[in-house]
Amino acid sequence: MTTEPAVTTRRPGDELTERAGELDRADPLAGLRSRFLLPEGVVYLDGNSLGALPAAVPPALADAVHRQWGGDLIRSWNDNGWWQAPLRVGDAIGRLIGAAAGQTVAGDSTSVQLFNALTAATRLRPGRPLLLTDPAHFPTDQYVADSVARLTGLEVHRLPLADLPGFLAARGDQVAVAGYSPVDYRTGELSDMAATTDAARRSGALMLWDLCHAAGALPVRLDALGVDLAVGCGYKYLSGGPGAPAYLYVARRHHADFDHPLTGWNGHAEPFAASSDYTPAEGVGRARIGTPPILSMLALEAALTAFDGVDLDEVRAKSLSLTGFLLDCADRELDGLGFTAATPREPARRGSQVALRHPDAYALVQALAAHGVIGDMRAPDLLRFGVNALYTSHGDVLTAVRQLRAVVLAGEHRQERFRRRGEVT
Amino acid sequence: MTTEPAVTTRRPGDELTERAGELDRADPLAGLRSRFLLPEGVVYLDGNSLGALPAAVPPALADAVHRQWGGDLIRSWNDNGWWQAPLRVGDAIGRLIGAAAGQTVAGDSTSVQLFNALTAATRLRPGRPLLLTDPAHFPTDQYVADSVARLTGLEVHRLPLADLPGFLAARGDQVAVAGYSPVDYRTGELSDMAATTDAARRSGALMLWDLCHAAGALPVRLDALGVDLAVGCGYKYLSGGPGAPAYLYVARRHHADFDHPLTGWNGHAEPFAASSDYTPAEGVGRARIGTPPILSMLALEAALTAFDGVDLDEVRAKSLSLTGFLLDCADRELDGLGFTAATPREPARRGSQVALRHPDAYALVQALAAHGVIGDMRAPDLLRFGVNALYTSHGDVLTAVRQLRAVVLAGEHRQERFRRRGEVT
């Protein structure tokens, strides 16, 4: 972490400064920032990769460690509700993604949940030879789709999301399941979940959404849209901590036939009967796998209380205000400095991040970090700035853009120390 | 937790009391107990289900939460070594199971690791139609074996461990992989890992050991025995916390051909290149799956430091002393009260727990817990008492047995409040 002061956002008479102040003063969600423990002197715009630390987490985790594990020991599985945690946390996530209770289970990683869900999907739609995914999808979604297809004898068809409705209309009867993300993890482009889900439904194919970049950032209405399956991680906009448990949503109409390959004992109808044969539990509980990482699970549960009483429509409105303001700031402050916006201008097509293209993206992100402005980059040339309406301010956004301008004007991104690639970018 | 005092282990002139004292005074590992935060007034004999809290965990976890997540945020993946944690923690576990560095990866649950390993095993041994498992195996091992067989077209053959060498000699050329545990999770019986592994090797079948009830409790020598694959959990004798990450060992000779189904992006050769195609990393790192639950992972890592400088041969010697003493105490104190030992008397056939049969096992375990003596039970009639040589004393063992005697003599196990079954037993 740097000790250099960030560039001030206060320039007398400056219109952007005034506007940031006005927007922040009028922000109905401004008070939520106190629900997070943000480090001093840092502008954090990477909550789309790892959400900031919610203030509710440290005491909850200390209690989980000292009183529950240390004191109550094995009895905590009953007495402190550990056994029910995957379903309880699943329902808490469900409330943020438009899923009525009893359809969401928390646990494992997104990759594992994807594998389980896609394989089960092929069994829900036997005789259909195609598994569709996006050639621009996050890598793990593509790798897992390939792996499931290999095991089940299906064929993966990589099709851009924009072409999906047309394909489903023409050949949808051959499609078992389509696995897509409503938000492009690189550009931040948001697509029309309703139209795509509807196209899948009409063709009889199952629709699986990966909500990693959507949940907690904008209203998602899984039940209302008739989505079949969804997965997502707990550590981006949900701020559940590094590698926080993921989740799986299975629409209630599929529970009885949800026949998944990761048949761990936690999903058994009678997990303590020690039967040699797997009989799945009723409901989404059958999608539980092995014993979940309780400390990470309880951290996620505490983190989700940052959403208590929060209206996701207000989150969405503020998120759009933040990303819109970021694009405006970039227009004004970065003009002629080699940047182009990769994120669409239209609000309806924006997720909760802004991506800027620049050939020196890697070095720029490193140089920015040295000034306490944290974004990230995706190869080859994207700078990503995620906003989380629960803790990001318009002032943060303006500071980040002005710091980026200062870095470029000073040529800092040409310094060797910022051009060396670390292990993780 | 009870506030009633446990039955005293001090009876003047009592031979068992004297012996417990002598054994504990002569115990070279007695000082290790201070590496754990054990609650006052509790005798904890369920470390074979959930290990006690190591003293190193709370400060490590507080640092992980406040400084690493809260302060350093996304940069912790590099700066605080999060990215390397699964391999670093894997190696720390490897040191306890006789695995040279670079063959063990930590993460996910035992169920998930089993699925990945068994599926990969069928690909390492194509053309062999059988997958062997133990009809007495922990349920998840059996369920996952069935699931893998279903997906890969193999047939599961359930064969008691005692019959395995003979079967392998006769029909081993048809066996792709045999998945067994060296310790029966119910009776605590320990089998001969060397002989069984050797029988598998001679037949060309792969040997997979589930070390959940062995790792940390006794020396395991995976490399020396020529084991092919192993899995285990982090929360029993390793004391890594509830649902602590599991681990997978893949012998180095299989790395290049280890072709697993859970192809998450963390196992990619270039995880940040965002390639659409899965190219596995070199070495056991390819068995990484999705983003691991870092808080639970770092708790496990801290917990493993309780083994620093500890000789597992000494752990084994003390464990046998504890279980032997427990059997002796049971002979003396429980004679005529309806108990029979399910655990073998021969030291070479004992793991690190003693199981006693009694028709009222459930109520007895509940009544014992009300007196601060924590064991557990497995249906229908087994009381299990696990000992962990790092924190269990002979005095604990004697207290437990005497409390059990007192409970039976007082008829407490016949009280209705102890006979009602809770959710988790």
pLDDT in tens, chain A (425 residues): 344 545 555 554 489 999 999 999 999 999 999 999 999 999 999 999 999 999 999 999 999 999 999 999 999 999 999 999 999 999 999 999 999 999 999 999 999 999 999 999 999 999 999 999 999 999 999 999 999 999 999 999 999 999 999 999 999 999 999 999 999 999 999 999 999 999 999 999 999 999 999 999 999 999 999 999 999 999 999 999 999 999 999 999 999 999 999 999 999 999 999 899 999 999 999 999 999 999 999 999 999 999 999 999 999 999 999 999 999 999 999 999 999 999 999 999 999 999 999 999 999 999 999 999 999 999 899 999 999 999 999 999 999 999 999 999 999 999 988 887 654 43
- Which chain A residues have a beta carbon less than 8 Å from that of B57? 65
pLDDT score at B7:
59
Query: Residues B165-187: pLDDT tens digits?
Result: 999 999 999 999 999 999 999 99
8 A C-beta contact, residue A112 and residue A287: no
For residue A55, the chain B residue with the least C-alpha distance is: B70
**In the block, residue with structure tokens 């079948």:** B205
Interface predicted TM-score of the whole assembly (ipTM), two decimals: 0.96
**Closest-CA distance of chain B to residue A22, Å:** 28
Distance (Å, whole) CA A372 – CA A379:
22
Q: Do A83 and B140 touch (CB under 8 A)?
A: no
3-state SS class at A357:
strand
- By Cβ distance, the residue of A50, A83, A275 closest to B73 is A50
Task: State which H helix or E strand residue B288 sits in.
Answer: none
Domains, in order of start, for chain B: 15-35+310-419 (3.90.1150.10), 58-307 (3.40.640.10)
Quickly list H helices, A40-138: 57-63, 76-79, 85-94, 110-124
Query: Residues B264-318: pLDDT tens digits?
Result: 999 999 999 989 999 999 999 999 999 999 999 999 999 999 999 999 999 999 9
Is residue A186 part of the annotated active site? The answer reads no
Distance (Å, whole) CA B379 – CA B373:
19
Angle, CA A276 vertex, CA B290 and CA B175 arms, to 5°: 75
pLDDT score at A417:
87
Query: Residues B223-268: pLDDT tens digits?
Result: 999 999 999 999 999 999 999 999 999 999 999 999 999 999 999 9
For A394, phi then psi, to 5°, come to -65, -30
Distance (Å, whole) CA B280 – CA B284:
10
pLDDT score at A425:
35
Q: Do A151 and B146 touch (CB under 8 A)?
A: no
For the cut 50, the answer to whether the pLDDT of residue B425 exceeds it is no
8 A C-beta contact, residue A241 and residue B294: yes
Percent above pLDDT 90 for chain B: 94
Q: Are strands A340-341 and B155-158 parallel, antiparallel or unpaired?
A: unpaired
Distances (CA, A) of B366 to A107, A113, B2, B362, B374: 30, 36, 12, 6, 9
First to last CA, chain B: 16
Give the mean pLDDT of B109-135: 98
Distances (CA, A) of B230 to A120, A293, A392: 27, 20, 46
Is residue A210 part of the annotated active site? The answer reads yes
**Closest-CA distance of chain A to residue B77, Å:** 7
Which residues partner with B106 through β-bridges? B247
Task: State which H helix or E strand residue B322 sits in.
Answer: helix B312-333
Tokens of B317: 């010697």
**Closest-CA distance of chain B to residue A164, Å:** 18
- Which chain A residues have a beta carbon less than 8 Å from that of B46? 73-74
Give the residue from A297, A1, A237 showing the smallest Cα distance to A97: A237
Q: Which long-range contacts (CB under 8 A, 24 or more apart) does A158-163 make?
A: A158/A132, A158/A133, A158/A134, A158/B276, A159/A132, A159/A133, A159/A134, A159/A135, A160/A134, A160/A135, A160/A136, A161/A134, A161/A136, A161/A191, A161/A196, A162/A191
**Closest-CA distance of chain B to residue A36, Å:** 9
pLDDT score at A423:
41
Task: State which H helix or E strand residue A296 sits in.
Answer: helix A294-304
8 A C-beta contact, residue A374 and residue A368: yes
Pick the catalytic residue from B108, B210, B228, B360. Answer: B210
Distances (CA, A) of A190 to A111, B98, B165, B275: 22, 50, 58, 22
pLDDT score at B2:
43
Is residue B308 part of the annotated active site? The answer reads no
Distance (Å, whole) CA B27 – CA B198:
35
Q: Report residue B5 CA to chain centroid gap.
A: 30
pLDDT score at B11:
56
Tokens of B209: 């050991």
pLDDT score at B417:
87
Pick the catalytic residue from A36, A44, A167, A235. Answer: A235
Residues constituting chain A = 425
Is residue B362 part of the annotated active site? The answer reads no
pLDDT score at B419:
81
Give the residue from B262, B79, B273, B116 showing the smallest Cα distance to A242: B79
Q: Do B276 and A158 touch (CB under 8 A)?
A: yes
For the cut 60, the answer to whether the pLDDT of residue B12 exceeds it is no
Task: Tell me how crowded residue B373 is: count the other CB atoms within 10 A of its CB.
Answer: 27
- Which chain A residues have a beta carbon less than 8 Å from that of B158? 276
Is residue A235 part of the annotated active site? The answer reads yes
